[in-house]
Chains A and B, each alone.
Chain A
Amino acid sequence: MTATAPSPYQVDAHGYYGPFGGAYVPEMLYPNVEELRDNYLRITKDPEFQREFQQLLTDYVGRPTPLFLAQRLSAHYGTTIYLKREDLCHTGAHKINNTIGQILVAKRLGKQRIVAETGAGQHGVATATVCALMGLECIVYMGEIDIERQKPNVDRMRMLGAKVVPATSGSKTLKDATNEAMRHWISNPTDTHYIIGSVVGPHPYPDMVARFQSVISAETISQLLHQTGRATPDFMLACVGGGSNAAGAFYHYLDEPSVRLIAAEAAGQGIDTGHSAATTALGKPGILHGASTILMQTEDGQVTEPYSISAGLDYPGIGPQHAQLFATGRAEFLSITDKQALDAAFQLSRLEGIIPALETGHALACLPLIGAKKDDVVVVCLSGRGDKDLATYTKHLEEYAS
């Protein structure tokens, strides 16, 4: 455990980020969470683990991902914009940085089976991928509604040998898939590891996942230094559902106050429409999926169902570290509507020849809002590619006829 956390934004010795975090799990999960908590730092700091992890990130995931100077986008906004190309990772998004790390932890804990939750299916695919690679059994819970609307990813998971189980409880989406994965873990406490897909859940998950994703900002520092002569940008932009790509993009800049951290949340149809997933704008402190955080809920403390055009941002909470970044003002949270995200996704496609994921469209949509000046350097975490969203984009092609 990090007994002497150097940063007020990092997890403390008790598993908290200020008032957020902790491990609010039923006693049935206590031994599993305790086992992970007591071992994750020892395991991940082991040189042999690091060697295997780094090698897989290089040879299998395709890291380092490029830091690309987007010249036409820069000219459009009158500033200097770099794109951190997580969309070029194997499986098409940053999610695999975490699943590679966690499966290596699971193996060292002697686990034989992996359980995971997925919303849009990106984390499910990244999990099914590493399970195939390591020869572990893989069970992915996915909301019944999401299974219908994300069929290509369901088929990818099945092709990779995973068992996709529909979550039929509650609202039948990501939050319920997470509940079902937790219930599966409760029922299989000794031989199963739960690979959570974001910086959410009980301690140590938010910290462990952020550490695996921190490769994003670690690479950005050296690439930016090489390309511009400075290690720190003026702005770092990333989208936040649970917040794993943002946690990785912010990680090494948390204690660099000169870097403005911008988190894009999904406003859906608008924060006042009742169809939104803008957690910090609409939520308040509470407990969700084992952590104290900020979440969208009724006055009576029932968790409400979020909405976003992007299934990856369709989550009623945020990771506890993000809750702390919001509460302390260290990061600025912007609410981006479906329309703004679509505009930004089409703009990037037309200006740079890169079709981004809808999630990433939310981060890109912050560009006109941050007031970046000519000499500023802006980095956008391009968290994923847009192939999975083609059906949605196709519906809007007419609106963006060039």
Chain B
Amino acid sequence: MNRLTDLFQRKTADVLNVYFTAGFPQLHDTVPILKALQEAGADLVEIGMPYSDPVADGETIQRSNQQALENGMTVAKLFEQLQDIREQGITVPILLMGYLNPVVQFGVEKFCQQCQATGVDGVILPDLPLEVYERQYRPLFVQYGLKVVFLVTPQTSAARVRQLDALADGFIYLVAAAGTTGAQTDMNADVDAYLSRTKALGLQNPTLVGFGISDAASFAAASRHTTGAIIGSAFIRLLQQTPAERQPLAIKEFVHSIRA
């Protein structure tokens, strides 16, 4: 069974998804960071495929993308790095997150094949429109057992949320407030109202909240009405600030601090 589906069958609350950019801070950090996150107890890991023009991302993730590209990271290289992770004892569900153009240039079918071969469970492609996914790519994603995640924001209409939920089969990514990743969202009454309003829609997919989740308090607040939350920019900042030799320990402490 798909590891993502399996995770959400086992766990329906406080799911922690951690994002990091492939090939950052160093080109060959991808797999060690993945291992450290699994050991630290992350439920789910989202690996960013770096892109030159990440419009949905704030400064922190933009800079990590740029650094990763300068390090020589590519889609092809990422699949090389992930080649035998499942044989190395990595069992945590893995999502790839990225923008459409590098995937299209790699070849969408080849991309899906490689995901299946390396054990990637799902994808988040924020600039892949729902309509294009449905018309052009859905059969391929289904054929290669790849789950898809769609984003929903406080401005998304209820009708649109239902459309997105009908086609998503990974989870629904709830963007906490209008903005790009890393925005300072305080988990205020507005966000709480939006999350409970979404909960009331009774979606078929699990929901994870992202954008502005950075510590135990925001994680707990975000998880109140949802299946869990996603941490990205705060984790990238940690990687940026941590000397290489302290990385595994720092990752462990970080994940534990969120769970505290």
A interface vs B, CB < 8 Å? 14, 22-28, 30-31, 169-170, 175-176, 179, 182-183, 186-190, 286-290, 297, 299-303
Contact = CB atoms under 8 A, between A and B. Distances in A.
A30 B127 CA distance: 10
B32 to A, nearest CB: 23
B127 A25 contact: yes
B33 to A, nearest CB: 21
B260 interface: no
A188 B153 CA distance: 13
B87 to A, nearest CB: 27
Contact of B153 (A28, A169, A183, A288): A28
A287 B175 contact: no
A289 B156 CA distance: 21
A200 to B, nearest CB: 13
Contact of B53 (A25, A30, A288): A288
Contacts of A179: 53-55
Contact of B55 (A22, A183, A299): A183
3 nearest A-B pairs in the assembled complex, by CB-CB distance: A301-B105, A301-B102, A26-B126
A187 B180 contact: yes
B129 A23 contact: yes
B53 A27 contact: no
A176 B62 CA distance: 11
A175 to B, nearest CB: 7
Nearest to A24: B127
B114 interface: no
A187 B54 CA distance: 15
B129 A25 contact: yes
Interface residues of B, number: 42
B191 interface: no
Given A186-B180, A288-B101, A301-B104, A170 B52 contact: yes
Nearest to B69: A302
Contact of B127 (A187, A287, A297): A287
A289 B53 CA distance: 9
Interface in B175-230: 175, 178-180, 183
Contacts of A186: 55-56, 178-180
A28 B56 contact: yes
Contacts of B59: 169
Given A23-B129, A301-B104, 12 more contacts: A24-B128, A27-B153, A27-B156, A28-B155, A170-B52, A179-B55, A182-B55, A190-B155, A287-B104, A302-B51, A302-B102, A303-B101
Nearest to A14: B131
Given A186-B55, A189-B155, A169 B62 contact: yes
B75 A300 contact: yes
A187 B175 CA distance: 12
A344 B8 CA distance: 66
A26 B105 contact: no
Contacts of B156: 27, 30-31
B100 interface: yes
B113 interface: no
B92 to A, nearest CB: 26
